[in-house]
Structure 1
Amino acid sequence: MKRLIFSHLQNWKSDPARKPILLRGARQVGKTWIAREIGKQFDAYVEINFELNPDAKKIFHFDLDPFRICRDFSLLYGQRIVPGQTLLFFDEIQEEPKALQALRYFYEMIPEQHVLAAGSLLDFEIEKIGLPVGRVASLYMHPMSFLEFLSACGETLLLEMLAEHDGTTPVSEPVHRKLLRLLGEYMAVGGMPEVVQRWCATKKLGDCAAIHRTICDAYRQDFNKYAKKHQLQHLALLFDVIPSLSGRQFKFSQIPGEFKKRDLQPSLELLVKAGLVNKVLHSAGQGIPLGAQARPELFKPIFLDVALAQSILSLQATSWLLEPEASFVNKGEITEAFVGQELLAYSPADQRPQLYFWRRQARSSSAEVDYLLQKDQHVIPIEVKSSTPGRLRSLRLFLEEHRNSPYGVRLSALNFSVDEQLRSLPLYAIHLLMGVPTSRIHSLL
């Protein structure tokens, strides 16, 4: 399988001003796999997993001298570590905080040494000890995007077409229907690499569903690693309920039971920090940056992956395969969550992404735009609609009230079209909205 982030790592490999990189993201999104893939481009590759090899932690208990650390790991693993030729990968680095602290000294004392690090629960440790400013870089990983799914399925000709598309010219109806069918497969399978790999090998949805359940169970087992005992009940409840709240402004009163906000809010933040839940923040959308006008207390939650969310809710995914176009209409909340997942996947990997939405609440006229995007110094409103054209009242109202927005975007199961201030993109073409470079898409071929 190929990932868009791989091109970032290739550029990092040849960059003389490189810094140690932290691969950040939820468990099972492919961090270890991508490290091993880039490792194949080095003369040697040394992987240290602090969870599987606790003795490796002791290497950092003497001092943080990177020369000694490399020497000791060379002796321990029987593999010479040569700066400029060997990739050193620290996996599950959150298990040894001193290893995280040592990254700055690799940058300062052996800048020619390539160092990658990853950890599923990394943000919890970073919050405790911090990161040295300007000494360590981060790359953020997400579930596989639809383009990466097409690549894994061997649909190279479709990938080439989507990479070169101008974003306005309709594609032929048979090709459009094929892409919607493949997108229906993605909605059922999701973007977790292990599941995608199994789907491509067997085309058995039951096999994929079993892996979905295993991944969700692993996430639940992780609760003990970052939560206090009294929070476990709250975490489990939120984990099971949040997938049903996609596309809706979150209120703690929506959570069943007699729980108070002060009890649930810390647990919600833990799920966000673990990468399992993303917040779509409210923004006034009057200008950029969108975060300057955000109201963090107003947000919509989306789960890490649409297929995992459906698994948690025990929803049958077969309708996505049998009737994909009807499913996009009937399962609007899941479709909206998919759009958020795609927007995150195509965001710059070297920046922590943040999603926004807009809502106007008034007695006489309430309106909501599903997502706001900052593009070319402008704010672009995005509405996710069913396959029917619709009135797009909220989108047009936003454009009337926000003169700095040159146009709005409808994402739906409809074909490409342009009409004055409205650009219509099919749901399979969100990469065009995000401006993913053609060269990066070609790297998936």
Structure 2
Amino acid sequence: MEKDMLKRKIDSFIKEFFRRSKNALLITGARQIGKTFSVREFGKKFESFIEINFVENQSAVEIFKTAKNSADILLRLSAMTNIPLIKGKTLIFFDEVQKCPEIVTAIKFLVEEGSYRYILSGSLLGVELRDLRSVPVGYLEVKDMYPLDFEEFLICNNVNKAIISHIKDAFYEKRSVDDVIHVKLLELFRLYLVVGGMPAAVSKYLETNNLQEVLAVQQEIIRLYKWDISQYAYKNKLKIEEIFDLIPSELNAKNKRFILKSLNQNAKFTYYEDSFLWLKNAGVALPVYNVEEPKVPLLLAKSRNLFKLFQSDVGLLAAQYSDGIQLKIIMGQSDINFGAIYENAVAQELAAHDFNLYYFNSKKQGELDFVVEKDGMILPIEVKSGKDYAVHRALTNILENSEYNIKEALVLSNANIKQIGKILYAPIYMVMLIEKKKEKPLIYKIDLSAVS
């Protein structure tokens, strides 16, 4: 997997972070998404790079658990490795830190000591890492990492930068994409639905172009996730694995909402809530919560027991369906239900762009596939895999409701781009361009001259 260098956006983020900040960086995310590889690549920029993996090196866990202060930690660290610690020129990498939460707590003192730079990584397995997200404030920044998004997938497939620029210009200027490019991008998007964004699967495709070998890699990742469930969530492992296995069939249902009765005829949400949260916090599932109204802030209207549950990677979702579906997806065969697969890809892309995921459903007004907050406004998103992409009763009702005051909406489909009223109809592959504006510093100063 690592012999093929996949270009990732996280690489630029890490480089920029260490340029602008003296703090430590914690990269979190599901297993097998390339966290360790990206850190090792960045480590090559330092004169000295030290890596401590708390899964592979169990003795290191005990050593750091009993350390008294930063000097003690650094002394023990120097005894564990034959790599020199060079002040100002050493990057220290603590990997799989969920096995040693003490090192996350101690990072404050190591950063304060100031001799070396620190980067940490961990998989969201269990609750240890999640509970440590807020500490130590001011010394540790957290960055979530995801599988390759669609733009990264295009770059890894050597799509010309000029082509990507053409697509971006078309999106922002709301003009049609060249027909030849449009057809090819739809083909690449269908390929992405099958290969997905797990680095091992992408690397295997680039190396072989063999979808069977890609499928074998994906199935191995799914087995690894199930092994993680049995190892890290032993109290609820049967419930969690049952939910995980039901994701494809529940998404194939008419409204795609996860129905508890699929688990047990008398199931109650409180009994299963921890299991759903485990899958979310482990990074292997993406819940999209129902909101009662499409108004800012969406969090206040969130219903925690009504949600859709997507796979963290669309390629893994395709791998969970029946054999032979991969080629049918790539060929765009009409007998395939693309709705669930398209929506999973959109959920995955939005999550990778740091959006909180919601949908809206009302008996009177209908259902919107996604509702997100973008630049302080509500953006409704409909995902259409068929030819009737202009039919959207719920979206029309929402836009006509003056109470919601929605300025624009987005319909993603296989058609080329066009603007009709408040609705932008855009090709499904343009989901890669839905991003938040970079926040500018919010500076506010009170004039105290009258009271000073």
What residue number does 2:8 align with?
3
User: Residue 273 of structure 1 corresponds to which residue in structure 2?
Assistant: 281
Q: Is the 8 A contact 1:359 1:366 kept in 2?
A: yes
Supply the distance in 2 between the matched residues of 1:114 and 1:142 (Cα, whole angstroms): 24
Any idea what SS the aligned residue of 2:184 has?
helix
Higher mean C-alpha displacement, 240-249 vs 402-411:
240-249
**More off after superposition, 396-405 vs 188-197:** 396-405
Give the secondary structure class of the aligned counterpart of 2:94: strand
| 1:211-290 alignment, distance < 5 Å | 211-229=217-235, 231-246=236-251, 248-255=256-263, 260-290=268-298
| Structure 2 CA distance for partners of 1:162 and 1:42, relative to 1, 3 Å | farther
Is the deviation greater in 150-159 or in 375-384?
150-159
> Which structure 2 residue ranges, 5 or more long, are not aligned?
1-5, 439-452
What is the match of residue 415 of structure 1?
Answer: 416
Aligned mate of 2:19, from 10, 14, 19:
14
Query: 43, 47, 65: which one pairs with 2:51?
Result: 47
Bigger mean CA deviation after superposition, 233-242 or 208-217: 233-242
Q: CA deviation at 1:392?
A: 1.5
Q: Is the 8 A contact 1:305 1:341 kept in 2?
A: yes
SS at match of 1:374: strand
CA drift of 1:107 comes to: 2.6
Q: Residue 20 of structure 1 contacts residue 106 of structure 1 at CA under 8 Å; is this kept in 2?
A: no
Of 231-240 and 74-83, the range deviating more from structure 2: 74-83
- Is the CA contact 1:185–1:321 (under 8 Å) kept in the aligned structure 2? yes
Determine the structure 2 residue equivalent to 1:210. 216
Compute the displacement of 1:47 (Å).
Answer: 1.0
Is 1:161 matched with 2:166? yes
Aligned equivalent of 2:113, options 106, 109, 113: 109
Quote the residue 1:429 is aligned against: 430
For the residue of structure 2 that corresponds to 1:94, the secondary structure is helix
The amino acid across from 2:12 in the alignment is S
- Residues of 2 paired with 1:124 and 1:205: CA distance? 35
* Preserved CA contact (<8 Å) 2:356 2:372: no
CA contact (8 A) 1:285 1:372 kept: no
Query: What is the Cα deviation at residue 334 of structure 1?
Result: 1.2
> 1:281 touches 1:296 (CA, 8 Å); kept in 2?
yes
1:341 matched to 2:348? The reply is: yes
- What 5-or-longer segments of structure 1 have no aligned partner? 348-352, 438-445
2:362 partner letter: R
Return the letter of the residue paired with 2:328: S
C-alpha distance 255-61 of structure 1, shift in aligned 2 (>3 A): closer
Name the SS for the 1:434 alignment partner: coil
Contact 2:286 2:310 in 1 (8 A): yes
Give the paired residue count: 424
> What residue number does 1:441 align with?
none
1:403 Cα deviation (Å)?
Answer: 4.1
Q: 1:426 to 1:83 in 2, by over 3 A?
A: farther
Residues 46 and 149 of structure 1, relative CA distance in 2, 3 Å threshold: same
Q: 2:358 aligns with which of 329, 348, 356?
A: 356
Q: Identify if the C-alpha distance between structure 1 residues 262 and 123 changes in structure 2 by more than 3 Å, giving closer, same or farther.
A: closer
Q: Secondary structure at the match of 1:379?
A: strand
Question: Which whole-Å CA distance do the structure 2 matches of 1:436 and 1:177 have between them?
Answer: 29
Residue 45 of structure 1 deviates from its aligned partner by 1.4
Matched AA of 2:73: I
Matched AA of 2:424: R
Contact 1:285 1:379 in 2 (8 A): no
In structure 2, distance between residues paired with 1:38 and 1:163: 29
Is 1:376 the counterpart of 2:370? The answer is: no
User: RMSD of the alignment, in Å?
Assistant: 2.2
Shift of 1:262: 4.3
The answer to whether residue 121 in structure 2 is matched with residue 121 in structure 1 is no
More RCO (CA 8 Å, sep 6+): 1
Shift of 1:108: 2.7
1:442 is aligned to none
Residue 201 (structure 2) pairs with residue 195 (structure 1): yes
For residue 231 of structure 2, what is the amino acid of its counterpart?
A: K
Measured in 1, the distance between the counterparts of 2:226 and 2:437 equals: 34
Q: Aligned partner of 1:203: which letter?
A: N
What is the match of residue 294 of structure 1? 302
SS of residue paired to 1:317 = helix
Q: Is 1:50–1:95's contact at 8 Å kept on the other side of the alignment?
A: yes
Is 2:145–2:352's contact at 8 Å kept on the other side of the alignment? yes
Q: Distance in 2 between matches of 1:122 and 1:88?
A: 22
**Alignment-derived partner of residue 443 in structure 1:** none
Are the aligned partners of 1:83 and 1:114 in contact in 2 as well (CA < 8 Å)?
Answer: no
2:314 is aligned, of 289, 306, 309, to 306
The 8 Å contact of residues 64 and 103 in structure 2, kept in 1 or not, is answered as yes
Alignment-derived partner of residue 172 in structure 1: 178
The partner residue of 1:319 within 289, 305, 328 is 328
For residues 65 and 404 of structure 2, the distance between their equivalents in structure 1, rounded to whole angstroms, comes to 59
Give how far 1:323 is off: 2.5
Amino acid paired to 1:314: S
1:436, CA displacement in angstroms?
A: 7.4
Q: Letter of the aligned partner of 1:265 in structure 2?
A: E
Amino acid at match of 1:108: E
Tell me how far 1:69 sits from its aligned partner.
2.2
Instruction: Report how far residue 37 of structure 1 moved.
Output: 1.8
Q: CA offsets per residue over residues 11-37 of structure 1, 9 Å max, x none?
A: 11112x432111111111111111112
How far apart in 1 are the matches of 2:272 and 2:295? 33
For residues 58-85 of structure 1, what are the alpha-carbon distances to aligned partners after superposition, in whole Å with 9 as ceiling and x for unaligned? 3313324223323432332211223432
1:392 alignment counterpart:
392
Q: What SS is found at the alignment partner of 1:5?
A: helix
Q: Is the 8 A contact 2:193 2:318 kept in 1?
A: no
How far, CA to CA, are the matches of 2:259 and 2:217 in structure 1?
A: 31
Partner of 1:63 in structure 2?
A: 67
TM-score by length of 1: 0.89
In the alignment, the residues of structure 1 paired with residue 189 and residue 264 of structure 2 have an alpha-carbon distance, to the nearest angstrom, of 33
Q: Cα distance, 1:139 vs. partner?
A: 0.3
Q: Deviations over 1:93-112 (max 9, x none)?
A: 111122122112123332x6
Cα–Cα, structure 1 residues 64 and 341, in superposed 2: closer, same or farther, change >3 Å?
farther
Cα distance change of structure 1 residues 61 and 232 upon mapping to structure 2, 3 Å threshold: closer
Contact 1:381 1:409 in 2 (8 A): yes
